[in-house]
A and B are shown apart, each in its own frame.
Chain A
Amino acid sequence: MNKTRRPGLVLELGLWMLAISILPVTAAVGISNSTFVKALTEQAQERLDLVAKDCVKRIDAYADDLIIDLSVLAEEPTLVQALENFASASANDGFGGQAFLDDRVKYDGYFSSLLSKRKWSDVLLIDADQRIVYSANYSNELGLRLDAPELENSNLFRSVSDANTLLQSELSDFTDYPFAGGKVAFLAAPIFKNGLIIGDVVLRISPDDVLKVLNETTGLGATGEILTGEMRDGVLQLATPTRIAAQQEIHTLDIAHEVWPLAEALAGREGAGVYKDYRGVETRAVWKYSPALNWGMVVKIDSSEIYGPITYFKTISMLIVIVSVLFVIFGAYLSYRSITRPIVTLASLVGGLSGDHLPERLPILARNEIGTLIDVFNRLFARLRDYQSSLETKVSQRTQELETALQDLQTTQDQLIETEKMAALGQLVAGIAHEINTPLGAIISSANTIDGALEQALRSMPVVLGDLGHGERARFASLVEHLISDESKISSLSFREKRDVKKALEKALSEQNIEESSRIADVMINLGYRDIDAEVLVLAQSENGMLQFDLLSRLSNVIRATANISVAAERAGKVVLALKTFAHYDQSGAPHLSRLDTSIETVLTLFHNQIKQDIEVRTDFAFTDPVLVHSDELAQVWMNLIQNALQAMVFKGKLTIRIERQGQLVVVSIADTGPGIAPEHHERIFKPFFTTKVAGEGSGLGLDIVRRIVEKHNGRIWFASEVGVGTTFFVALPLVEGT
């Protein structure tokens, strides 16, 4: 199923199995094949040799037997007698005469027993006159002379003449013989009587007899064949019919190649080899010369037959190979089923596993170790699933916990932000208490003063005024006039200056011998006098001058106290307003047009008592247009940055605040002359809960909140700081269209 996806293992295993199974088979086949070929060749050669030798031997033996039989026959008295009888009878009465017929009757039995015994075709008797006087088979040549035209060129003639001249019997060639209807050979032997040749006995041999010998093809198999050849009139001709191509008349053969072993044999050489015969078929042959017949002889078997077993063997081998391959394929299939497929399936299943989905169980496809492996995997998966499900449960649990924690954290953060705000406020409140209590103290004290002063003034007024003479009344009026004049209302002198003025006045009064100079000097200062005055001197020297001064002093106190109350009330009002502005939370959540400088001023007011100590504040508000902002949130930004600056400087130094426009931005910069921010803190300065302040001074959320607020305004906050020089925070806010 996954064969196409993962052919590697399957292919590899199959190929290996093929190689392993086929290699030995082919090796065995190859080795046995060559051995077999060699053995077969040798065996065939041996057989051919044997057959050839046997053949030659038999032919020779046959020929020898014939010659011996003939020579024995030629000396047999019966035969000699028969020849004489036939010769004389035929000579006297002719071949049809009684004497001749009697002789035939007399000798036919003898001759027919010879023929049947010896398997000769015919026995001819030839008299001294070269006439054929007897034929055992009553052939038609009876009575013919050997030199008759029919016999002149026949082997019969040659054999007889050779026998008579050379006194040697030799089997003639097989040639056509008119009286035999086919090829025949002759063997002649002279018959002697009293040392004279009285005629000849001739055996007519049918080639069948020789062929019987030659066709004794035992051991030559189906295609084995013996070819014989002789030279006739200088032409190589087959002496005997062929076995295979018996029907064909093959007389003349191309010596060049088809029958060259025959020519070799005729040349008297013997040998063995492979050659293509007249059919063009490859054969293995042995050739020999047969001296008895003067024939060349080739014994051959078709190579195909010799190597037939090999072909069979090869076929069997091929079958074995094919069967092996089939077995291998089957084996491969079996191993694929039982080993590879499970492995591949397992591999692909395991490979395709995702964390989200584990299979219920892998199908077990094998009962072997792989089955065990898959079983192990299944158990593993089961455990994994368990883990997974428990993990999922755990994860969801943890997630819920985390969500809760996050919610808590958010709540905590909100609370912290609020806390931070309240902490900042708390720090302020301490200052604010002072800020409010101070004017309040002044107010209450001054009110109390008014109360007492007015009471005393009202009590003394009738007495003082009633005692005034005409001139005195005018002087008093002018002094009152002085009292209510602007310059006296709020003393423009500082206490230090007042002290100096008083000292000078006191001295001047003392010089005039005026008692209570200190008191009069005080009154004079409160009335607005800075120098000695003639009228005052007159009054001081007058009788009820001190009463008048007292009254004027009470009245002056009432005026001054009232003024002081105004100043104090104004201060208190300012603080309360700043506080109210700062604490104000814009419920609508929508930005509104607000002036940044006002906002910053408000914050500065809140910090008044911290600033006034040793801080030199420089404000440069070049841009005062209203900007669309969340002013209450921005107030927190200024508050935080200013407070940081003040704390950094330990309330001593220079605080420079600028508002300027830079393109489409309004940039607020708040610079202190503190110690600067250590470079290692630069990265973390805006991180929540980062603080370098001592515990209680800050939560570390300040700048985080500031950053959030600025970012909420699509603004940017950054800082430049140099250790030992100071830090400047910059807040850039975009100027929204239409603002």
Chain B
Amino acid sequence: MDGVILCVDDEEMILTALEMQLDQMFGSRFAYEFAESAQEACALMDQYEGRECQIIVIITDWLMPGIKGDVFLVKAHQRFPKVVKIMLTGQADQSAIQNAKENAALHRCLTKPWLPEDLREAIESGLAQGRAS
């Protein structure tokens, strides 16, 4: 198993869709974690700290209660700079995307609704980039 893909979205239907889609795409190649808020995601990340199985991809929504996606990614980036960060959002502030790009090395910003290929490509290319560097 290559690692864990962490999905963060306040909408359960998105997480559910992602759960099935990622399972279909990658099957057991990755483990998957789902958090309904940035706080929950942070807690999960704490759990994975020091474990053998690492979080390698974060797919996050932007507009969420509490901590916004870009802020969360910046935080995550400070702790896990190598994690591939992907934003999957229905609507995002341009300045927020800019913030994530500059301070969180945002790999891709996908808009809802998204195409499965785009998601796959984002993950694969992100991981490939990580391996290359």
* Cβ A442 vs Cβ B11 within 8 A: yes
Across-interface contacts of A568 in B (CB, < 8 A): 13, 17
Nearest CB on B from A567, distance (A): 5
Across-interface contacts of B36 in A (CB, < 8 A): 494-496
Q: Which of A452, A453, A564 contacts B13 (CB 8 A)?
A: A564
Nearest CB on A from B52, distance (A): 14
Q: How large is the interface on A (under 10, 10 to 19, 20 to 34, 35 or more residues)?
A: 35 or more
Contact A449:B17 (CB < 8 A) given known A442-B11, A494-B12:
yes
- Mask, A524-557, CB within 8 Å of B = 1, is 0000000000000000000000000000010001
Across-interface contacts of A439 in B (CB, < 8 A): 13
* Cβ A448 vs Cβ B16 within 8 A: no
Q: Does A350 have its Cβ within 8 Å of any Cβ on chain B?
A: no
Please name the residue on chain A nearest to B115 by beta carbon: A444
Q: Name A398-432 residues within 8 Å CB distance of B.
A: 430-431
Contact A557:B20 (CB < 8 A) given known A441-B90, A441-B114:
yes
Number of CB contacts from chain A to chain B under 8 A: 108
Q: Which of B14, B18, B65 contacts A614 (CB 8 A)?
A: B65
Q: Does B98 have its Cβ within 8 Å of any Cβ on chain A?
A: no
* Cβ B20 vs Cβ A446 within 8 A: yes
Q: Does B133 have its Cβ within 8 Å of any Cβ on chain A?
A: no
* Cβ B14 vs Cβ A438 within 8 A: yes
Interface-facing stretch out of B21-29, B77-85, B99-107: B21-29
Q: Does A657 have its Cβ within 8 Å of any Cβ on chain B?
A: no
Q: Which of A431, A442, A452 contacts B16 (CB 8 A)?
A: A442
Across-interface contacts of B74 in A (CB, < 8 A): none
Q: Does A519 have its Cβ within 8 Å of any Cβ on chain B?
A: yes
Q: Does B40 have its Cβ within 8 Å of any Cβ on chain A?
A: yes
A135 vs B23: C-alpha distance in the bound complex, in angstroms? 207
Q: Does B31 have its Cβ within 8 Å of any Cβ on chain A?
A: yes
Q: Which of B15, B16, B33, B66 contacts A613 (CB 8 A)?
A: B66
Contact A443:B28 (CB < 8 A) given known A449-B20, A453-B20, A560-B20:
no
Contact A446:B17 (CB < 8 A) given known A518-B31, A613-B66, A614-B65:
yes
* Cβ A440 vs Cβ B20 within 8 A: no
Nearest CB on B from A571, distance (A): 7
A557 vs B17: C-alpha distance in the bound complex, in angstroms? 9
Nearest CB on A from B78, distance (A): 23
Q: Which of A430, A452, A456, A495 contacts B12 (CB 8 A)?
A: A495
Nearest CB on A from B86, distance (A): 13
* Cβ B20 vs Cβ A612 within 8 A: no
A227 vs B49: C-alpha distance in the bound complex, in angstroms? 172
Across-interface contacts of A685 in B (CB, < 8 A): none
Q: Does B50 have its Cβ within 8 Å of any Cβ on chain A?
A: no
Q: Does A597 have its Cβ within 8 Å of any Cβ on chain B?
A: no
* Cβ B112 vs Cβ A609 within 8 A: no
Across-interface contacts of B114 in A (CB, < 8 A): 441, 444-445
Contact A449:B112 (CB < 8 A) given known A441-B90, A442-B16, A496-B40:
no
Across-interface contacts of A491 in B (CB, < 8 A): 16
Q: Which of A431, A437, A495 contacts B112 (CB 8 A)?
A: A437
* Cβ B20 vs Cβ A561 within 8 A: yes
* Cβ A564 vs Cβ B113 within 8 A: no
- Mask, A433-475, CB within 8 Å of B = 1, is 1111111111111101100110010000000000000000000
Please name the residue on chain B nearest to A651 by beta carbon: B65
Q: Does B35 have its Cβ within 8 Å of any Cβ on chain A?
A: yes
* Cβ B35 vs Cβ A495 within 8 A: yes
Across-interface contacts of A560 in B (CB, < 8 A): 16, 20
Across-interface contacts of B130 in A (CB, < 8 A): none
A632 vs B50: C-alpha distance in the bound complex, in angstroms? 57
Across-interface contacts of B13 in A (CB, < 8 A): 438-439, 442, 564, 567-568, 571
* Cβ A612 vs Cβ B21 within 8 A: no
Please name the residue on chain B nearest to A435 by beta carbon: B90
Across-interface contacts of B18 in A (CB, < 8 A): 445
A612 vs B40: C-alpha distance in the bound complex, in angstroms? 16
Q: Does A152 have its Cβ within 8 Å of any Cβ on chain B?
A: no
A141 vs B17: C-alpha distance in the bound complex, in angstroms? 198
Across-interface contacts of B111 in A (CB, < 8 A): 437
Q: Does A209 have its Cβ within 8 Å of any Cβ on chain B?
A: no
Nearest CB on B from A515, distance (A): 11
Across-interface contacts of A6 in B (CB, < 8 A): none
Q: Does B63 have its Cβ within 8 Å of any Cβ on chain A?
A: yes
Contacts A/B (CB < 8 Å), 9 sampled: A434-B89, A434-B90, A437-B113, A443-B113, A446-B21, A456-B24, A494-B36, A522-B23, A553-B23
Task: Enumerate the 5 nearest inter-chain pairs by beta-carbon distance, A residue then B residue, closest first.
Answer: A441-B112, A437-B90, A613-B65, A434-B90, A445-B17
